[in-house]
Structure 1
Amino acid sequence: MKLVTAGEMRELDRRTIEEVGVPSLVLMENAGRGTYQVLRREFPELAGPVTVLAGRGNNGGDGLVVARYLAQDGHPVRVFLLARRDEVKGDAAVNLKIAENLGLEIWEILQEAHLAEALPRLARGALVVDALLGTGLNAPVGGLLARLIEEVNSLAIPVLAVDIPSGLNADTGEVMGVAVKAQVTVTYGCAKLGQILPPGRDYVGRLWRVDIGIPPRLTWEIKTELAEAGEMRGLLPPRPLASHKGTFGHLVVVAGSEGKTGAAAMAAEAGLRAGAGLVTAAVPATLNDLLEVKLTEPMTHPLPEAPEVRALGEAALAPLQEFLADKEAVALGPGLGTHEETRSLVHSLARDCPLPMVIDADGLNALAGRLDLLERAAGPRILTPHPGEMARLLTSTTREVQSQRLKMAREVAQTHKVWVVLKGAQTLVAAPDGRVSFNPTGNPILASGGTGDVLTGLIGGFLAQGLSPWDAARLGVYLHGLAADYLAEVLGPRGHLAGDLLAVFPEVLAEFQQGRFPPREEDVGLQLVWS
């Protein structure tokens, strides 16, 4: 599913109207009708009137279409118009006139006295439809509008937002002074970036997308997307009947140091859960016996250590390169440690190893200030930083990374010719060609030590099976989050460990492949983006 900025959506509307010939009034009708269909689906037993809050622009026009469909269905509805009637122009004015001709109750809210008179009626309603401000908002909300939004948020009745909750920046998710907190949002054509990025998602509620008639071919050049279950299901590597362990590749996990053997173990096990035929944990020699006991299915391979520490040293490079000669993929970094010789080893492997490689944790820490090494890497590289690791890579701050997640991830991917998995709420995957995919799965179960090591192993396992870096990263991130969602659904959101993701993964894969999880809610022209 494509994700767009407000400007990109305006251009899609323009091209649909001018190049394809679909009248703008038809687009508004489709938007309002689709919103009404979602409204009836989400709120099937409304016990009271619906209040439509309409602004003077096209967003208000969409709301007026919704009001008309409610009235024609026999449901009590009233419109609070935050403008004089003669200020409403274009297609919105056409729908205002239709509403008037049908005898809909329309109140003009132009000053505090009007608002004070309207609020008791608003509070007695069953539902508020927010059609005040659309995706073009670029300045803080103030005055009467801000007062009304604050009152709406204080009410104990649900809110359905038209296209985007009023007060949210459609490009950044920023709250422009104050914003409506909706239980349901119905967006048009494409989902908007500001509905995905924090804090926007917290204001959107359940997000539905309505097909208003934008031809899909017009969206082909848009490079930002939201991963969808159907496409991710299609990326699962096939499991032919006449196959063997060699069919599914051999992943080598270069990981572990004193106190961090769990990271190596979880990454190795995750590689097998992803479907790799063989996984070997390449670990410091003095920790090998411990991991031999801890790991059953993955193999281990002991390597020389740095002086006086239980961590890999420079002497490990030659035997490791020899060992990797006939393997398919590498996962580098979980629990590796930060010794000077370990960092040197990481530099050599990241630059010179010809195999596809996913780099995480201490592998990333070793590359802080040395991302230039990746520009001449012998094979494809996937980096999986959390915001703190990303900040170290760029000599920046976590706050700055979090405020510019999309921009920073895309710039690193394009500049250094790598794939970037920037973890966090709505983890995103950025590719060297400028594409970015946001991930819709996951929850706070993943805010726990070791879950990143599991993700590294999953991505590595998919690389070993021959998936491209773009597909391996997106599929690994999606299923990693889906496993957390499954745990939350079945057992609740608390008390889980990173290892629980591994334990439930076969069941998650089965439910996912059969289309039973996540549950699908779709109708003609309607699609639930997330709940």
Structure 2
Amino acid sequence: MTPLATATPLYSIAEIRAIETAATQSLPQGVLMARAGQAAASAALKILHHLSDGDAAHMRVLVLAGPGNNGGDALEAAAHLAGSGIEVLVWLAPEAASTSPEREQAASRARNSAARFIDGATTMASSAINAAPWHLIIDGLFGIGATRPLTGVCGEMAQLVNQQSCPVLALDVPSGLHADTGTVEGVAIRATHTITFIGDKPGLHTADGRDHAGEVEVAALAIAPALLPQAGAQLNGVHLFARHLQPRRQNTHKGSYGSVAVLGGATGMSGAPVLAARAALHAGAGRVTIGFPDAPLAYDSGQPELMCRRARDIDFTGLQFGALVAGPGLGGDTDSVELLQRAIDSDSALLLDADALNLMAAEPELQSALATRSGAGATILTPHPLEAARLLDMTVAEVQADRLACARQLAAQLGVIVVLKGSGTVIAAQDGGVVINNTGSPALSTAGTGDVLAGLCGSLLAQGWPEWEAALGAVWLHGAAADALVASGAGPIGLTAGELIPALRKLINALSA
């Protein structure tokens, strides 16, 4: 089994501010900024050494220093880099009416170094960018305290930086990216690397964050662990569900690994439940049945092990099915509503996806039934942003503006586990706990991959995984299988949902060995 990683907590802006306040009470003025600058310089040197095969001499670095403490971190980094023999040019963004004493100290150190300076208030951003062919640009314009979009000369600078081909190192967060939500209003700097201070931030890993943060490194700044609270969010990883990835015992049979029923496949949409069912089977379920609302397929010629039946003839009472996966290609007619109601009334673990979510949004009584299902089996919802918006009576833009908050709201509202799909999928529990997934890529942006995820998660539920671990494991494995295919050259462009299924089987077996 793969060695377990440690948990990576994700701290909100408010949590980071509270940690900073507590830490500075016992530290001399400016110590945290000095530590941040040193960590930033070390990260920059590592990038430069990689570019130059270990010899960073004669490398040129452009440092963008904003008017606040993020700019102070950049100035500290500039002083360290200049002292290392790097050619450093500091572009000073137009300053606010006053700056902190710590930033003034950092500015003094930078000005006493060999770094050169350009005043952004009097010199165009393009002049700094065009001053030399840069090997690295350090973004220290605005950090987690930014409350408005990048405009004026800073907005112009961000656009110019995004046109460069050299690496970009963002300090704490890329300027223009919201540290809590991962959203961008207007323009934000697209970094290849981010060194984030004190603790990791959720916005670096979801929504626009994954396109802007690049590789993320955390610099804890030697803050005492006792000052770090329990974070409200964390990154997904194998360590969160590894205890369920175990070698199979010899003395077992198909009944040992659970039965899954996939409900869906209205006329013209039979491929959706077939994908889900195949994923469930390849992920280890002992037996998989597809329940079609209309006339069933005679059999699946590509996977004849699957049983194809009319859904109305399937008995959902008792626990003959470890999990029901309802929704892939289910359709929206009256029979589908009745079928979904039967699934909700069952005692089986339940995963609702696609058309099941659309039916719930249109039929409030289904939501009420789901909210009172606490005495029955586990329940997981896997909406994409539009489906979540319908259930929350919001717009897609409102959901995407704060994915963590919306996933939490929906989980609490319905008393379920919610998997809000998208870049940096958010998994939310009923108690407000949140995990952001960091596997997967645009390779998954193709029809049918959500059906595969639904079948995979249903399979884990049927095999006895608790609902929280099943959701975490399914989302992580789904993304990691796509990553493995991309690494082998099969994507990201043109990857198909069907290709994920054998890759999932291979990955699960490797992790369970």
Indicate whether the TM-score tops 0.5. yes
Equivalent AA in structure 2 for residue 91 of structure 1: E
Residue 207 of structure 1: how far off its partner (Å): 2.2
Give the aligned partner of residue 5 of structure 2.
Answer: none
1:433 positional shift: 0.5
Shift of residue 241, structure 1, vs aligned partner: 4.6
Number of the residue aligned with 2:423: 425
Contact 1:54 1:79 in 2 (8 A): yes
Q: 1:442 touches 1:482 (CA, 8 Å); kept in 2?
A: yes
Cα 1:415–1:96 change in 2 (3 A) is: same
Distance 2:412 2:468 in 1: 13
- Residues 232 and 478 in structure 1, CA contact (< 8 A), matched pair in contact too: no
Instruction: Tell me if the contact between 1:186 and 1:207 (Cα under 8 Å) persists in the aligned partners.
Output: yes
Matched letter for residue 335 of structure 1: G
Q: Distance in 2 between matches of 1:376 and 1:465?
A: 24
Shift of 1:83: 5.8
In structure 1, give the amino acid aligned to 2:342: S
| 3-state secondary structure, aligned to 2:248 | coil
Shift, 1:93, TM fit: 2.8
Alignment pair present for 1:506 and 2:500: no
What is aligned with 2:346? Answer: 353
C-alpha deviations, 1:417-473, integer Å up to 9, x for none? 011111122221111101121111222222222211111111011111222211111
* TM-aligned CA deviation for residue 508 of structure 1: 2.9
Per the alignment, residue 208 of structure 1 pairs with: 217
Aligned 1:134-145 pairs, distance under 5 A: 134-145=143-154
- In the superposition, relative to structure 1, how do residues 433 and 413 fare at CA in structure 2: closer, same or farther (>3 Å)? same
- Give the match for residue 298 of structure 1: 306
SS state at 1:290 partner: coil
TM-score by length of 2: 0.87
Q: How far apart, in 1, do the equivalents of 2:450 and 2:236 lie? A: 19
**Residues 399-478 of structure 1: matches in 2 within 5 Å?**
399-478=397-476
Local SS of the residue matching 2:267: coil
Specify which of 246, 253, 275 is matched with residue 284 of structure 2. 275
Match in the other structure for 2:21? 14
Provide the secondary structure at the position in 2 that maps to 1:493: coil
Q: Would you say the 8 A contact 1:85–1:108 is kept in 2?
A: no
Query: Partner of 1:160 in structure 2?
Result: 169
8 Å Cα contact 1:257/1:287 also seen in 2: no
Which residue of 74, 82, 101 maps to 1:90? Answer: 101
Q: CA deviation at 1:8?
A: 2.0
> Where in structure 2 are there 5+ consecutive unaligned residues?
1-7
Aligned to 2:157: 148
Q: Deviations over 1:196-237 (max 9, x none)?
A: 333333222222222223445555532222213443545535
Partner residue in 1 for 2:3 = none
CA contact 2:206–2:425 (8 Å) conserved in 1: no
Q: Are the counterparts in 2 of residues 347 and 367 from structure 1 also a CA contact under 8 Å? A: no
Task: Say if 1:8 and 1:481 are closer, same or farther in 2 by CA, change over 3 A.
Answer: same
Query: Which shifted more, 82-91 or 359-368?
Result: 82-91
Instruction: Work out whether 1:398 is the aligned partner of 2:396.
Output: yes
> In structure 2, the residue corresponding to 1:10 is in which secondary structure?
helix
Report 1:64-75 matches (<5 A): 64-75=75-86
Contact 2:144 2:172 in 1 (8 A): yes
In the alignment, the residues of structure 1 paired with residue 243 and residue 23 of structure 2 have an alpha-carbon distance, to the nearest angstrom, of 30
**2:325 aligns with one of 315, 321, 331:** 331
SS where residue 337 of structure 1 aligns?
A: coil
CA distance in 1, matches of 2:31, 2:488: 43
C-alpha deviations, 1:104-153, integer Å up to 9, x for none?
Answer: 334251532476764543x3332211112111000233333334334433
Q: Distance in 2 between matches of 1:257 and 1:116?
A: 58
Q: Name the count of aligned residue pairs.
A: 494
- Check conservation: 1:56, 1:89, Cα contact below 8 A: no
Contact 1:81/1:106, CA 8 A, preserved across alignment: no
The equivalent residue for 2:358 is 365
Please tell me the residue identity of whatever aligns with 1:184: H
Distance 1:452 1:144, change over 3 A: closer
Q: Which has the higher helix share?
A: 1
Structure 1 residue 320 corresponds to structure 2 residue 319: no
Secondary structure at the residue paired with 1:128? strand
Residue in structure 2 matched with residue 29 of structure 1 by the alignment: 34
Matches within 5 A, 1:169-180: 169-180=178-189
Structure 1: gaps of 5 or more residues = 304-311, 515-531
Mapped partners of 2:351, 2:380: distance in 1: 5
Which residue type is aligned with residue 298 of structure 1? L
AA at the equivalent of 1:494: I
Identical-residue share of aligned pairs (%): 36
Match of 1:107?
117
Contact 1:188 1:210 in 2 (8 A): yes
Q: Which amino acid aligns with 1:104?
A: A
C-alpha spacing 1:512/1:95, structure 2 compared with 1 (3 Å): farther
Q: 1:262 to 1:72 in 2, by over 3 A?
A: same
With the length of structure 1 as denominator, give the TM-score of the two structures. Answer: 0.84
1:181/1:465 CA distance change after superposition, 3 Å: same
Residue 12 of structure 2 corresponds to which residue in structure 1? 5
Task: Give the whole-Å Cα distance in 1 for the aligned partners of 2:77 and 2:268.
Answer: 60
Instruction: Provide the secondary structure at the position in 1 that maps to 2:469.
Output: helix
Pair 1:495–1:56, CA change in 2 (3 A): closer
CA deviation string 1:293-337 (max 9, x = no partner): 45333344x34xxxxxxxx45xx4xx5124x53332221222223
1:502 positional shift: 0.5
3-state secondary structure, aligned to 2:316 = helix
Aligned to 2:372: 376
- Tell me which amino acid in the other structure corresponds to 1:474: L
Distance in 1 of aligned mates of 2:270 and 2:127? 67
Residues 155-214 of structure 1, C-alpha deviations (whole Å, 9 max, x = no match): 443321111122223233333443322222111122223323333332222222222234
Which deviates more, 279-288 or 410-419?
279-288
Give the alignment of 1:208-247 within 5 angstroms: 208-216=217-225, 218-237=227-246, 239-247=248-256
Establish whether residue 494 from structure 1 lines up as the match of residue 493 from structure 2. Answer: yes
Q: RMSD between aligned alpha carbons?
A: 2.9
Amino acid in the other structure paired with 1:295 = Q
Measure, in 1, the Cα distance between the counterparts of 2:429 and 2:328: 22
Residue of structure 2 aligned with 1:182, choices 191, 204, 212: 191
8 A Cα contact 1:109 1:115, kept in partner: no
SS, match of residue 141 in structure 1 = coil
